Amino acid sequence: MNNGVKLFFLMLGLCAATPAAGQYTLRDATGTPATRRNRTTATTPTQITRIDRPIPRQGNRTDAEMTEHMPGITDNIPGTDNERILYLTFNLPGGGFDIALINWLDRNRVPATFFISCNWVFPETKSPTRPHHLRMISTNPLFSVQNAGYDNLPASENGKYAWGIRGTENLVQLRDEIMTATEILRNAATLERAPTWYRAGAAMYDTMAVRYINSIDIKIAGFAINIDAGGTLDADQVYSEMMRAKSGDILSGMANRPNPETLDGFSRAVMDLKQRGFVFKVLPEK
């Protein structure tokens, strides 16, 4: 069966399985559907109860079919000949918050798009400052809040692994990973409109997952340049990576791992890119 026919039948199954609006379900470890109505109707993170489940991990295993780049994933947004636009994107899959980076972007009026997972909105260790951090992003007109999924899982049709993390087990779970997070982010961050961009965990996908996400009119944000290699590069390396950017490129970095080295290289690169005539923008809604 070719992939087009396969996707058709999978979509039929998804339509049959789709619950009513506001009642997206996720199977827990026992396979029991868990309703999320109590979370998606809340207006702040403190009003929402997180439904946790174990996420299988296996070293650094990455299955061959999983990749960061393929047709259907946007790494570059072409502009006109006289435009020199770059799109800064930062990931908040969980963990901490680089407040120095946020303050630098705000102080220097640099737009950026943030891909936020519910793992970050509702950390395992309750964070009294997390609602404030979320508002720092969502209420700033320089910034755009976009979707990194509920559990920030790699996007797969059948549970393939990426960097040791098992991806979504099927397209029903992938739908829930995206759509539940969409509702939660819109409510928790009090967004005027729902996120229209999605970036999976580890920014990794298989072919059927990409085709499905494209079919539900969600744009997949890839990247042309990984500016900090997951927060592991020193200042000069970050600077060198960013200075390779060409017009229309999406740049991806981490905002959950505060690192003065990263900020040093990043800030120098942004200023030098501006001197070269580049303009920074958030990812377009349409």
In this predicted model, what pLDDT tens digit does every residue of 107-133 receive, in sequence order? Answer: 999 999 999 999 999 886 667 788 899
What is the average pLDDT value for the chain, to the nearest integer?
84
Tens of pLDDT, residue by residue over 135-150, are 999 999 999 999 999 9
CB atoms within 10 A of CB 28: 13
Give the integer Cα–Cα distance in Å for 219 and 221: 6
pLDDT at 1 over 70: no
pLDDT at 81 over 60: yes
Which of 4-18, 97-111, 252-266 is predicted with the least confidence, judged by mean pLDDT? Answer: 4-18
What is the model's pLDDT at position 74? 98
Do 22 and 40 touch, CB atoms closer than 8 A?
yes
- Nearest Cα neighbor of 153 from 173, 183, 125, 132 is 173
CATH number of 61-281: 3.20.20.370
The two tokens of residue 95 are 């963990």
- Nearest Cα neighbor of 152 from 182, 178, 131, 130 is 178
At residue 159, the 3 state secondary structure works out as: coil
CA–centroid distance for 213 within its chain: 13
